[in-house]
Structures are given as C-alpha cells and as structure tokens.
Amino acid sequence: MKLSPDSTFPLIVLMTCAELFTFVTAHSTNIPQGKQGLQMLYQDMSVLLKLVSQERDRNEMTDFEQSLTSLPLLNYRTEDLKSLEVSSTLGQLYSGIKSFKFHLDWIHQNQEEMGLDYLQTNKLDDRIQIITQLALKQIGTAPSELVYPSLSPLNTAWNLYQANVEILDKLYFFCNWYIRALRVLKHRQQ
C-alpha cells in the first residue's frame, strides 16, 4: 500500500494512539518504584544500548550531513552528573525516549512502504516501549503531551538509510548518557 506524503503524519499519530491505548490498558502493577525501579530501568536501558550497538555495527557508518534536528539534543557534561535530580532526569528520559520512538515509527513506516525488512526496528521499538512504561511508572504521572514535528517522507533507500543511521547514532549516545545518569541516581538511593 503506497501512502501519500499527506497521510504520513496522521498514520504515525494513529500508531501512537494505539500504543497509548495498549499501555493504558496493560497491567503494570508489577513495575516497582524507587531504587528497584531505577535498577530495572537501568537494565532495560543497557539492553537497548546493546541492541542499538549491534544495529550500528551492522550499518557501515559513512560521513554525511545529519539533518534530523527534531531528535533530542544531548548537551550534558560529566560534571552534570553531580547535580542530577530523579524527577527531572526521569522526565527528560521519558520525553527523549518517546521522541526516539516517534522517529523509529517513521523509519518503520518508510521501511514498510519500500518493502524493506524492519525486524531490527521492531526490536528497538519493543524495548523502547518497555522503557517508556518503566519511566512513566517512576515519574508517577505523564508529563504534558509531547509535540512531534512533521517529518517528510523518505523518497529513496539512501535517504532512509541516512535517517536510520542518524537516529541510531543519536540513540546510542542518548542511551550512554542515561545509563550513566541512572547509575548515579541508583547509588544515591542506597
């Protein structure tokens, strides 16, 4: 099924709503809070980092201009780890991981339209969904509704490849930072 460029954004919104319904109706009472919840979040972020690393290794990284300005920015320094607060860090983790999920859904949709394999995108997507639920449980209430940008359709396999590589590259550094942050937060709660 070939979709017009005008139908891309509504389809992504519809997919997000379906996942939100699944999340709201799922039984998440087994997710612990506090230090144990941070430990689970840390472990799941480590698994995500491993998946992203494997996927990055599969893709030959080439030098090209990165153009996805809608991805979360990481402007953190090592000394910022000293002043982390649980609620703000988890809120930033939640909104950042939701943004990556939005972008991966966009990649997935374009892979499907081009008839390409998207098994790896699904693995990343599944892990991100788990992390989203864990982070939300730790926060307690969902942050204000996130606003997502309109993303252009990817017209060629090369454009799709470039966008995928850029998302994986930034997700790799995002995971690295938040694994370090979660480790610090866990140790503070001992």
Q: Which of 45, 129, 123, 147 is nearest to 89 (CA)?
A: 45
Cβ(28)–Cβ(133) below 8 Å: yes
Q: Where are the beta strands (DSSP E) in 22-180?
A: none
What's the chain's Rg over C-alpha atoms?
17
Residues 6+ apart with CB under 8 A from 3: 11, 109, 113, 153
Single out the residue of 140, 123, 158, 127 nearest to residue 34, CA to CA.
Answer: 140
- pLDDT: is 49 or 68 the higher one? 49
- Give the pLDDT confidence score for residue 35 in this predicted structure: 76
Q: What is the pLDDT of residues 98-155, one digit of tens each?
A: 999 999 999 988 888 888 777 777 889 999 999 999 999 888 877 777 778 888 888 8
Which domains are present in the chain?
A: 33-60+70-142+151-189 (1.20.1250.10)
Q: What tens digit of pLDDT does each residue of 40-62 get?
A: 999 999 999 999 999 888 876 66
Kindly report whether the global pTM for this prediction surpasses the value 0.85.
Answer: no
